[in-house]
Amino acid sequence: MLENLHIKNAALIAECDLQFAPGLNILTGETGAGKSMILGSLQFALGGRANKEFLRRGEKQAVVEALFSAEDPAILELLEENGIPAEEDGSLLISRSLNESGKSVCRINGCTVTAGMLRQIAAELMDIYGQHEHQSLLNPSRHIGLLDRFCGEKLTEKLTEYEKWQEKRKMIQQQLGALLGDEGQRAQRLDILRFQTEEIAAAALREGEEESLLDRKKRLAGMEKLMRLTSEGTALLYDGGHGIPAVCDLLGQAMEDAAQAAALDAEVQEIADTLENAYAQIEDCARTWKRYGATLEAEPEALEEVEERLQTIHRLKRKYGGSLEAVLAFYEKAVAEMEFLENSEETAADLERQQREVERQMLRLSEEMTSIRRERASQVEAQIEEALHQMQMAQAKFRIGFAQKEEFGRDGRDKVEFLISANAGEELKPLAKIASGGEMSRVMLALKSVLVDGDEIGTFVFDEIDTGISGRTARKVGEKMCLLGKKRQILCITHLPQIAALADRHFLIVKEEAEERTETKVELLDEDGACREVARLIGGEEITETTLAAARELRSAREQ
């Protein structure tokens, strides 16, 4: 439900704040007062288009904020999918600004979002319907979607299963297209795949090989230094040289001195034992290092081989994926595609068999969906006809026409179109053939009133859908809207007193001039103000006791 709409610097509106209520919220005002600007601001906040003309003259930024209470799980799921935090109290604040350069910024609960994300979420919050939106009803391609919303979970389950088979069929058709397409293109593709797989296979790559080669390259490249260090190190430990005794010789002398000292004082024995262990370890280390040194030799040819191997790996990585693992994965995929293309006749036969089975399942589900739709359609027809009769279209007949498409569509094989006969003796015709705007308005309201029980959207907005009607018909339309308001929040812009009188909350839109500027303002009317506004709608600018009495009578009828 829309709780609050705050508008600042939008066209003729300097600033206004509208606190909406559950039930029927009515907006009235003289022609040109700015009623459409209120709706335009709301549509802007919900992701609609706006140009720089939306910005009030002389201002740098326009801002519209819409506060909703939204506890529908579908909305909460959408917020989570888009990384938008949900408020604990279920409130949802939409804010959108437009600067003088024409750039807009959208936010939901403080998080910046794209206009597309905003429209996706807004579609679950509010349904706006007005004179210009009649086109959606006139488009037969939209009718099956409207009917499906009446059909409930039973159809949804079938449609979900159908969509899975449809996706599988699409994949099979793509594979068949690759197999049964242009022979020259397939041969060319096979040549490319053979070259790629042979090139990779010839390299005989192994996982972890590159790291091993890099380690070996490092060793071979530093061989001369390694040999020198080994020679010098073993000399210092074991051989000595240049007049310097070997470490083992010096340590042996120290070990002998410690042994003699221990013979004179037992406290030195621990030192003698430690030196003896150290001598054994160092002597072993010296011998091992010397043996290691004997194995070392410069291998320029081996280094060249390693570098060539690394270049091969680098070239393949550059061509096929950036890493050794990616190259190997590319190879497996290419081999699989090559086998697929080489066995095209056998594979195509198998795919065609699979496609026939998939289409058999799709046909089964399509027939089941048709049965559900036809069963529900008869109920919907009766409900919409009853609603039309209640709105002074006593002879109206409403039917939902069915035809079969030759091909599978995204929702089965049904082609659905809404048909109507507005008057006695007239044949059923598509909605587009209805000439009267008043009749179209009532058909739309009838659809909405029947659809409401299967619709999770919390707020409906009607923009002067009472065009072309008056008198008793207007009263019946208002009553239907009032009944709809008991299930959903309704916002309605109207010029008819019969509808305005039924308001649970009434806003008056006025245009004022001050300091050589025109400004649109919004006033929330109390009971007396609501009666006076209804009286104005009845009799014009001059409000008399007669028009006031008529207005009070109209207002009192909403309690019945």
Pairing of strands 459-463, 61-69: unpaired
pLDDT at 80: 85
CA distance linking residue 557 with residue 441, whole number of Å: 23
CA distance linking residue 56 with residue 45, whole number of Å: 16
The gap from C-alpha 37 to its chain's centroid, in whole angstroms, comes to 30
Amino acid type, 14? A
CA distance linking residue 20 with residue 3, whole number of Å: 5
**At 29, is the secondary structure helix, strand, or coil?**
strand
Q: Is the pTM of this model over 0.75?
A: no
pLDDT at 181: 63
Digit-by-digit pLDDT tens for the chain (560 residues) are: 999 999 999 988 999 999 999 999 999 988 888 888 898 899 999 988 888 889 998 899 999 999 999 877 778 888 888 888 888 888 999 999 999 888 999 999 999 999 888 988 888 888 776 655 555 567 788 788 888 888 888 899 999 999 999 999 999 988 888 776 666 777 788 889 999 999 888 888 888 877 888 887 777 776 777 777 777 777 777 766 666 777 777 788 888 888 888 888 888 888 888 888 888 888 888 888 777 777 777 777 777 787 888 888 888 888 888 888 888 889 999 998 888 777 777 788 888 899 999 999 999 999 999 999 999 999 999 999 998 888 888 888 999 999 999 899 989 999 999 998 988 888 898 887 775 666 776 787 888 788 776 666 788 888 767 777 778 888 888 888 888 888 889 999 988 899 999 999 999 999 888 777 889 999 999 999 999 999 999 988 788 899 999 999 888 877 65
Asked if 442 and 391 count as a contact pair (C-beta separation under 8 A), the reply is: yes
**At 554, is the secondary structure helix, strand, or coil?**
helix
Asked if 62 and 97 count as a contact pair (C-beta separation under 8 A), the reply is: yes
Tally of CA atoms within 13 A in the half-sphere of 121 that contains its CB: 32
Helices (H) and strands (E) in the chain, counts: 18, 15
- CATH numbers and ranges of domains, the chain: 1-125+457-560 (3.40.50.300)
Distances from the Cα of 303 to the Cαs of 103, 207, 215, 311, in angstroms?
62, 21, 11, 12
CA distance linking residue 334 with residue 340, whole number of Å: 10
Of 107, 94, 132, 108, which Cα lies nearest the Cα of 6?
A: 94
Tally of CA atoms within 13 A in the half-sphere of 434 that contains its CB: 27
pLDDT at 183: 64
Amino acid type, 257? D
Asked if 26 and 499 count as a contact pair (C-beta separation under 8 A), the reply is: yes
pLDDT at 436: 62
Sign for the pseudo-dihedral over CA of 224, 229, 231, 232: positive
User: What tokens were used for 483?
Assistant: 């009944």
Q: Exposure of 16 by Cβ count < 10 A (0-12 exposed, 13-18 middle, 19+ buried)?
A: buried
Distances from the Cα of 310 to the Cαs of 200, 327, 469, in angstroms?
14, 14, 84
Query: In 321-416, which ranges are continuous DSSP H helix?
Result: 324-342, 344-390
